[in-house]
Amino acid sequence: MSKVLVTFAPVMKYHSEIRRRRSFAIISHPDAGKTTLTEKLLLFGGAIQTAGAVKSNKIKKHATSDFMEIERQRGISVATSVMTFEFQGILINLLDTPGHKDFAEDTYRTLTAVDSVILVIDSVNGVEEQTRRLMEVCRMRDTPVIVFINKMDRDGKGRFDLIEEVERELSIQLHPMTWPINSGKDFKGVYNLHDKNIRLFTANTKADDDDVLQLQDLTDPVLDQKLGDRDAAVLREDVELVDGVHGELNVDQYLAGKVAPVFFGSAVNNFGVKEMLDTFIRIAPTPRSRETTKRLVNVEEDKFSGFIFKIHANLDPKHRDRIAFLRVCSGKFERNKYFKHVRLQKDVRFSNPYSFLARSKDVIEEAYPGDVVGLFDTGNFKIGDTLTEGESFYFTGIPSFSPEIFKEVVNKDPMKTKQLEKGLLQLTDEGVAQLFTQFGGNKKIIGCVGELQFEVIQYRLLHEYGASVDFKAQPYYKACWITSESEQKLQDFTRFKSANIAEDKDGHLVYLAQSEWFLNTERTNNPDIEFHFTSEIHKAE
C-alpha cells in the first residue's frame, strides 16, 4: 500500500492548492463597466473597503485597478492590472484588462495567462467592435466565458433582443443564469434561475446585503405582492420560455468554451454581481495543462514552470521599479530558489516576489499553478520568456503583433538623451509598442497598433524619465522581420534597401514597407529572403 502512495504522491503533490485557484480576466468594450465590476468583486472578497469613482473629477478616490496617472486622468484602463483575493476559501487571481482597442495587444496577451473570462456587455449599447475582437481570441483558445450584461437600470435594449444579439454577433450560445425583471427606470431585480429566488433591485447594494426573496415556485403569491400582477405575469412567462429552451446548465459545455452562462445586473449599484461570483466559484475552471514547444506541461507536474506575459516599468514611480508578471503553470514557485531562464540559459532567483492588489504589493514565499507573481526585473525579461527547473522549452500561443502606425521620435531636449534612450527601451519592453533604429543611423522609430499608445508613451517619457519628445509620422505600412539562409543575399538586400531597413532592439533586421504593393514587389523580386510579420521567428535562437 505504501508503495502505491510513493508512486503517485509526486504527481498529485500540489493538487489541493491547484484545486482552490481560479484565474480569470475581465474583458469588455471601453465604458461597459469593466473596472467598476472589478471593484465590486474586490469588495465581495474583502480586498477593499470602499469603491473608487473612475470618472468623477469631483471625487478624488479612483478605481483601485487604474494605477497609472494617465489612466486616472482619462478614466480608462491602459495597462492590465493584477489583483489577488480570497472568496469562500477560493484564491482568485483577477486580471483587469484595457478596454480601449489601441491597447488590445496587452489584453490578448493577458488572455494567455488566464483560464477563463468574464465578458461585460453594456445593455444600452449591446455588442460593440472591441467585444467582437476579444471574443475571437477567446474562441481561438476555447476559453470558458461568463457574460455579465451590465447597466440594466438604464434604458437600453430588451432582454430577449440582447440575448439574440450577443449570440449572433459573438457566435456563442448563451445560457441565462439570472433573468431581469424589466429594465431602465422600471428595473425591479433579477430572478435566479438556478437557485429559484428573486433579488429585488435597490441602488447601491452593499456587499453583505442579502435582500433575497425565497420562493417555493413562481406560483407563489408573494411574487404578485412584490412585483405587481403585470410584472409577475411577465416574469412567469419569460422563465417558462427560458427554462423550456435552455434547461440546466451543462458545465462541461461551458468549460469547453461552447456555452456562456449569462447574468444581468448593475455593477455600479453592486447589483447582480454576487449571483455571478457564486456561480463563478462553483463552475469556473481550475488551472489547466499547457502546450509548449517541446511537450504538454501537465498542471499537476512536480517541477516548476511559468512564463512572462506582461512587463510594467515604474509601477511605483518613486522607485523606478520594473515588474515582470509571471503566470505559474506547474509545480511550486519559491522565493530565493534558483530557476532556469530558458532564453538567457542562466539561473536566476528572486528575493522579493510579489502578489498584487493593484498598486499595493505583498512579498510572497511561494506560488502555485494559476497564480500571477510579480518579479523585480533589472532588464532580463521579455514577454514570452519561460522559467523552469532546468528543462528548455517555451510556452506557445503568446501573441506578438506587427505595428500599423509608425512615428519617428523627435528629442526636444538633447540634454536628456540618456533618459530618453532608457525610457524608450523600458517602455517598449512592456510590449505596448516596438522600437526600431534606422539601419546604420540613429533615427528611432516607434511602431504601435493604435494612436493612443503614442500619447501614453509621450506622457510617460516626460513624467517618468524627464524626457520630452514629439512624434513625426512615417510613411510605412508594415514592419517585416527578414531572414535568409544565404547571409550574402541578406547583406545585399540590406545594402540596396538601406533607407527602409531598421533593427529592432534585439538587433534583428526589419524591412519597413511603404505599402502593400512595395512589400509584394520585394517578396517577388527576392525569393531568397523570408518576410515575417512577427519577431517570433527569433524566439528560440
Arithmetic mean of pLDDT, 422-427: 82
369 marked as part of a ligand binding site: no
33 marked as part of a ligand binding site: yes
Structure confidence at residue 536 as a pLDDT band (50, 70, 90): low
Residue 404, amino acid: E
pLDDT at 51 exceeding the cut of 60: no
The CATH number of the domain covering residues in 405-538: 3.30.70.3280
For the chain, give every domain's residue range. Answer: 8-76+115-283, 290-388, 405-538
152 marked as part of a ligand binding site: yes
| Number of CB atoms found within 10 A of residue 168's CB | 10
Structure confidence at residue 1 as a pLDDT band (50, 70, 90): very low
257 marked as part of a ligand binding site: no
Structure confidence at residue 246 as a pLDDT band (50, 70, 90): confident
100 marked as part of a ligand binding site: yes
35 marked as part of a ligand binding site: yes
Enter the pTM of the model.
0.74
For 290-388, the fitting CATH number among 3.40.50.300, 3.90.470.20, 1.10.260.40, 3.90.330.10 is 3.40.50.300
153 marked as part of a ligand binding site: yes
* 8-76+115-283 and 290-388 agree in CATH topology: yes
pLDDT tens, residue by residue, 179-232 = 998 888 888 888 888 888 888 887 766 545 556 777 777 778 888 888 888 888
99 marked as part of a ligand binding site: yes
CATH topology of domain 8-76+115-283: Rossmann fold (3.40.50)
29 marked as part of a ligand binding site: yes
Residue with cell 504527481: 11
340 marked as part of a ligand binding site: no
Our CA dihedral for 168, 172, 176, 177, rounded to 10 degrees, sits at -160
Radius of gyration of the chain (CA): 25
34 marked as part of a ligand binding site: yes
Q: Supply the angle between the helices 129-141 and 104-111 in degrees, to the nearest 10.
A: 30
Residue with cell 438556478: 194
| Under 8 Å between Cβ of 450 and 407 | no
pLDDT at 409 exceeding the cut of 70: yes
Pairing assessment for the beta strands 305-313 and 81-87 based on DSSP bridges: unpaired
Which tops the pLDDT comparison, 68 or 264? 264
pLDDT tens, residue by residue, 340-352 = 999 999 999 998 8
Strand partners, 121: 149
